[in-house]
Amino acid sequence: MKTLRIDVQIITQPVRISDPCLIEVKLTSQSARPMLINRRLSVGYQDSHARELFAKVFRQGSDEVLSKRTKLYDRDFSPPEHYVRLPPMQTASTSFDLFDWYSLPSAGDYELVIYYQADEPLTVKPVGLLLGIHSSARIAFTVVKRD
């Protein structure tokens, strides 16, 4: 059983290639005891710093990642107060515009995965921090051309 469940919902419908695409992310503790997480839940990229969430968008039915980064950012690492104990079955959530952070090549059928990681290599890791990269299930969605 996973200790952390990541639920993702694509709020914007229909998803248009040149419009915002609002994503809601909920982290739910599946542990019998409180787990230490970073509640900031800032978006970035897998190979970037000072982020807790990153995304990958795949061509539907494949392992081909099609999403490309769209911005450079400079953010401080989290201060101690961003780290909180998430009680069993409790949720921490955030939302963001997927297309503000990632671009896709065209309209089409895709699958989205959101990843949570609070122990990236350069960050200070409080004792008891939930370690590793945790992922959502693949969420299928279709991007259409703008009318």
> Could you read off the pLDDT of 7-25 as tens digits, one per residue?
999 999 999 988 999 999 9
Confidence check: pLDDT of 46 > 70: yes
Average pLDDT over residues 49-54: 96
Question: What phi and psi, each to the nearest 5 degrees, are found at residue 73?
Answer: -145, 155
Q: Quickly state the pLDDT bin for 1 (edges 50, 70, 90).
A: low
**pTM score above 0.85:** yes
pLDDT at 5 over 80: yes
- Average pLDDT over every residue of 54-76: 95
Residue 67, pLDDT > 90, answer yes
Give phi and psi for 48, each to the nearest 5.
-105, 180
Shortest CA distance to 10 belongs to which of 71, 49, 64, 57?
57
Token digits of residue 9? 């919902």
Of the chain, the percentage scoring pLDDT greater than 70 comes to 99
In the predicted model, what is the mean pLDDT of the chain? 95
pLDDT at 147 over 90: no
pLDDT score, position 51: 96
What are 134's strand-pairing partners? 116
Report which of 130, 142, 127 is spatially closest to residue 80, judged by C-alpha positions.
127
Class of domain 4-144: mainly beta
In the chain, what are the domain boundaries?
Answer: 4-144
